[in-house]
Amino acid sequence: MLFQKFDNTQENGQCGVRIEYAATWPYDAAFVLAAAQAILDSDLKDPKNVRRITADGREITFLTREAGLSLSAVLDGQACRQLSITGISRVMEVPVTFSFQAGTDRVILESDAAKYFAKYGGHVFDRYMDSIEITACCAIAVARAAKDPS
């Protein structure tokens, strides 16, 4: 993913950051689901680290926790256009929110840990975001190959 924009934010007296990334190409609902699942599987593994998940404006946090953090079990093949995950990143050790919207190339990462970003710079999540995109693309390729093994 390509770093696009870094903004400092202030909400409820907390200093934060909002970072916009551009995916390699515009993505669809399958990428939204695969990227979000990659984040849950690799970083927010513990259900206690997951604070909130919404899909197309619908709160699905409890259902996702009950399903062992499996988004496909909760969404059951339903195409998801917008998905947002909020939790505590084990990798970066900060609270984060990831927002995806199908049909765009934009992924938004938000965190209230502005001091952390001030210390390490706005590009601190670049490799992390690249790995999410690669993991999602691989998952989609594997799923497509399983459907059409020829």
Question: By percentage, how much of the chain surpasses pLDDT 90?
Answer: 31
Residue 16 in this model has a pLDDT that exceeds 70: yes
- Predicted confidence at residue 87, as pLDDT, reads 94
Mean pLDDT of 20-35: 87
DSSP letter, residue 116: H
| Residue range of the domain that includes 12 | 2-147
**pLDDT value of residue 88:** 92
CATH number at residue 86: 3.30.530
pLDDT value at residue 14: 67
Helix (H) or strand (E) holding 10, with range, is strand 2-11
pLDDT tens-digit readout, 37-95: 999 998 888 888 899 999 999 999 999 999 999 998 998 767 788 999 999 988 888 88
pLDDT recorded at residue 70 = 92
Query: Residue 141 pLDDT > 70, yes or no?
Result: yes
3-state SS, residue 24: coil
**CA dihedral over 83, 89, 116, 2, signed as positive or negative:** negative
Is the pLDDT at 105 greater than 80? The verdict is: yes
Query: Closest by alpha carbon to 82, among 132, 33, 39?
Result: 33
Instruction: Enter the pTM of the model.
Output: 0.85
**E-strand stretches of 12-149:** 14-22, 50-55, 58-59, 82-88, 95-101, 106-111
> How far is the first Cα of the chain from the last one, in angstroms, to the nearest whole number?
31
User: How many domains are contained in the chain?
Assistant: 1
